Amino acid sequence: MTVSIGSDHARRIITVAREQRLTRAQTAYVLAKAWHETEAFNWLREIWGSTPAQLRYEGRADLGNTATGDGKGFMGLGYVQITGRSSYTD
């Protein structure tokens, strides 16, 4: 696998993994998860198009989305696409 666009992202993840003394298996998992969630490090923020699935984020108490607009305001973000007010603030 050749990493071009995501090279800087992969290097950052590996650096932090070393600092945290993760095993190779743990580091591989983190890289694979981040690669998948961001479509090869292309999207660090969810592409919002108000799809039916995305609109279901509104009013989701399990995500902490209690105010109008929380679905879009707390859309997927980061290497593992953290989603929902609770995930952003906890």
Could you tell me the two tokens for 24? 């190779």
Same domain, 84 and 57: yes
Could you tell me if residue 44 is inside a domain? no
Same domain, 85 and 58: yes
- pLDDT for res 5: 47
What gap in Å lies between CA 13 and CA 34, rounded to an integer?
9
Task: Give residue 28's domain range.
Answer: 7-37
Contact 88, 74 (CB under 8 A): yes
The answer on pLDDT for 2 being more than 80 is: no
Could you tell me the two tokens for 14? 């590996």
Could you tell me the two tokens for 66? 């209690």
Same domain, 56 and 82: yes
The answer on pLDDT for 90 being more than 80 is: no
The string of pLDDT tens digits covering residues 9-66 is: 999 999 999 999 999 999 999 999 999 999 999 899 988 887 898 889 999 999 999 9
Contact 77, 7 (CB under 8 A): no
Could you tell me if residue 12 is inside a domain? yes
Could you tell me if residue 66 is inside a domain? yes
- pLDDT for res 6: 58
- pLDDT for res 77: 92
Number of independent structural domains in the chain = 2
Could you tell me if residue 2 is inside a domain? no
